[in-house]
Chain A
Amino acid sequence: MFLEVKNITKKFDDTDVLKGIDFNLEKGQVLSIIGSSGSGKTTLLRCLNFLETPDTGTIFVDGDCIFNAGDTHKKSFEEIRENRLSFGLVFQSFNLFPQYSVMENLMLAPKLRVKEKVKKEKLPKAELKKMYEEIHAKALDILASVGLSEKVDAYPCQLSGGQQQRVSIARALMLDPDILFFDEPTSALDPEITGEVLKVIKSLAARNMTMIIVTHEMNFAREVSDKIVFMDAGVVAAEGTPKEIFESENERLHHFLASFNNAQ
């Protein structure tokens, strides 16, 4: 298994938001997480990305333990920072850096990273320039793949929501994450432009990007996922292939999907 999540629990004050989450994911697969509002989907994603610290549980990536709540010593921000490299996260509200152009948004983190590396390994300055050029070329490639070649020099405030979300996907891709997470990537968008973002995610799936997607777009989840996890009140209430999930007899799942169909 590429990603193994075991017994993740999380409490806020006195409410148990996550009550022991387990799931696995193979490399190159797409996992969708569905579930009603407040079931803990965002909290789970935040725990996996170290934005929250789970109370219990372990996370293994490719056999390496990157999180263990039982560890006696609390991980420092620095150590967590190293582990973050395996993951990318795309936010519901994009969170682009407004003062930077699209290109600068993409290049910021990789540039800082190579700068650190050059400093640490005492490489010659010329090396840095070459690395910056490589990063620039890579950014152009990635922008082309999300269909935003023309917006290289635009600022976030000059872009539509769909374009901003595609930039934020591109920004996450710049660091070559092993797993890319999405938290309702289209929820903040007008319905008519969700398609352009979903298309980008589908193209990533076609290139075997390992992804975990929290979504309320049921048709999209059915189409793109290898596996779907249904969360309910802080537990994984059902999991399986899209076919298994959408044909499941599980009562809570049935209820959830029915409410969805009625709402649409």
Chain B
Amino acid sequence: MSFIDITLELLAGFGYTLALFFLTLVLAIPLGMLIAFCRMSNCKPVQNITKIFIWIIRGIPLMLLIFMIYYLPGLLGVTNVFHNVDIYFTSLLKSNEVVKIGSFIAVLIAFVINYACYFAEIFRGGIESIPHGQYEAGEVLGLTKTQIFTKIVLKQVVKRILPPMTNEIITLVKDTALANAIAIPEIIITAKDFAARQAIIWPLFYTAVFYLIFVGLVTIILGKAENKLSYFKA
């Protein structure tokens, strides 16, 4: 196999990584905000339930969470929905390899729930770190609560949470490798297959380059965002 063939196959695997990364980000950020607001709710029961939920999700290894979500329908006595979706699409697309859409959705759900909880705690920390005086200054100037949040607090929160979010997002890039727990053909599985089936070892090392480039890009973009907000102190 040529270098180009292998690159293309690895890229196909990396496609899963990218899809999982972006979908998780797009879904976990709003869900994380919702969880953060529930966590800060004045209603004690809501607050406590959220606290317990965050504890459970953060306490379970992500890999285990993936298995749990994947097998949950089976446990509940329903058939394994995710597996059935795989089979359905495989026959629909008349593919000779299993189309892992159902499994991918299971992984995505686990990722979104897991990262939403981590993001929620970062959001909460950010929001709670804004001095009370900022809210009061908005209040005495006659702003509504929504205006105070969107026009005064939000940008300061974003500035404060960017560094921890950058950390979490880089971890997310690498965590996507866990998708191979339920045999999603992501890049590392692809590379391992070369080693196992054709005794070609170097693609495994080459795989690191994909991650490094992607993490590099993420770092640069988020660094730019941080720079953009560095004009003020908060």
Q: Which residues of A contact B (CB under 8 A)?
A: 49-51, 77-78, 81, 84-85, 87-89, 91, 93, 95-99, 108-109, 112-113, 155-157, 168, 171-172, 175
Contacts and interface: CB of A to CB of B under 8 A. Distances in A.
Contact of B147 (A91, A112, A168): A112
A85 B134 CA distance: 18
B43 interface: no
Contact of A91 (B137, B142, B155): B137
Q: For this complex, into which size category does the number of interface residues on chain B fall?
A: 20 to 34
B136 A98 contact: no
Interface string B114-134: 000000000000000001011
29 contacts: A50-B139, A51-B136, A51-B139, A77-B144, A77-B145, A81-B142, A81-B144, A84-B139, A84-B140, A84-B142, A88-B140, A97-B134, A97-B152, A98-B232, A98-B233, A98-B234, A99-B156, A99-B159, A99-B229, A99-B232, A108-B152, A109-B141, A109-B142, A109-B143, A112-B143, A155-B231, A157-B233, A168-B137, A172-B141
B232 A93 contact: no
B135 to A, nearest CB: 9
A156 B232 contact: yes
A108 B231 CA distance: 19
A77 to B, nearest CB: 6
Contact of A89 (B140, B143, B147, B156): B140
B231 to A, nearest CB: 7
B151 interface: yes
Contacts of A112: 143, 147, 151
Contacts of B232: 98-99, 155-157
Contacts of A85: 142
A84 B136 CA distance: 12
Contact of A175 (B137, B139, B141, B147): B141
Contacts of A171: 141
B144 to A, nearest CB: 7
Contacts of A78: 144
B133 A87 contact: no
- Chain B, interface SS category: helix
Interface in B174-222: none
Contact of B140 (A87, A99, A156, A157): A87
Question: Which among B141, B156, B233 has the greatest number of chain A C-beta atoms within 10 A?
Answer: B141
B142 A95 contact: no
Contacts of B134: 95, 97
Contacts of A84: 139-140, 142
B228 to A, nearest CB: 11
A85 B141 CA distance: 8
B99 to A, nearest CB: 48
Contacts of A109: 141-143
Contacts of B136: 51, 91, 95
Given A96-B137, A155-B232, A175-B141, 6 more contacts: A51-B139, A98-B233, A99-B229, A109-B141, A171-B141, A172-B140
Contacts of B234: 98-99
Contacts of A51: 136, 139-140
Contact of A98 (B140, B147, B156): B156
Nearest to B132: A95
A12 to B, nearest CB: 16
A10 to B, nearest CB: 16
A85 B140 CA distance: 8
A49 B131 CA distance: 19
Contacts of B231: 155
Contacts of A172: 140-141
